[in-house]
Structure 1
């Protein structure tokens, strides 16, 4: 384990769950990494891959960042008394200035805070949070059209070079 926290590489991440619909339904403007407060059985369930982020979102309440709507399945080896509530709100760990900046952006520009993925780095659970703008149907169609034309251009370049 290195002493310098700035040497984290994306290769050190062990992604547990990702929100695949987020990039399709939202235009991601900026991303943030934040810690997440979890119970012991939640951590074990995450390591087993028991998380679903489909309808999850983040909000600022009482000057704190909270994650709502993320489902973490009960850990298989835990008794009912030692388990956790699967759909509870979970506190996110961010600096106060960052929380205030995100609150201002979401209130002024009508943006959303959407979780993109949850992963482990250096043994700690982290959440990748995106500041995003919702896409309308024609925006989604336009993105698909652009992606298809880029693929066709790449194919043409590949076939020309052969």
Structure 2
């Protein structure tokens, strides 16, 4: 019997990121997880809205990814749902991140978490924070695009 394979590999999205930041440069990183975390992620108990990335001793780490433990899977292990997890990146990617974070004053934002084969991956962006007027401009542009599409559709 074949398993139904869904095309949707997305685990969690950070929709707030596009509103809060100008997204500049995209990276894909693996995540160092424990067994109970993988089981919880498969069950959909994951949230990345407050996640942010920092560099320490030449290694990239992500914190505030909230993975809620399952009752049956984590009875014998001490579970910390928001522990700091190591990101698996190539050294040149880490060097690029350090350049953006330290020299240009940018920040790293996690926008998505998804499955790639049997691995959990995180989509990261080097980003620059938006000012309040930038957010208003983006909302105006979006509304204008919607109005144009309506006029073209019914025109």
Secondary structure of 1:77's aligned partner:
coil
Aligned alpha-carbon RMSD (Å): 1.4
What's the TM-score, normalizing by structure 1? 0.88
Count matched residues: 150
Q: Which residue of 2 aligns with 1:134?
A: 129
- Counterpart contact for 2:36–2:74, Cα < 8 Å: no
Give the Cα separation in 2 of the matches to 1:28 and 1:71: 23
Which residues of structure 1 form unaligned runs of 5+?
A: 1-10
- Compare the two structures and name the one with the higher helix fraction: 1
- Counterpart contact for 1:25–1:134, Cα < 8 Å: yes
- Runs (4 or more) in structure 1 with deviation over 3 Å come to none
What's the TM-score, normalizing by structure 2? 0.91
| CA-CA distance at 1:107 after TM superposition | 1.1
Per-residue CA deviations over 1:58-83 (Å, capped at 9, x if unaligned) read 01111000001111101231243225
Per-residue CA deviations over 1:84-137 (Å, capped at 9, x if unaligned) read 211110000000011011111111111110101111111110000111111111
Q: For 1:62, which of 54, 57, 78 is the aligned residue?
A: 57
- Counterpart contact for 2:39–2:73, Cα < 8 Å: no
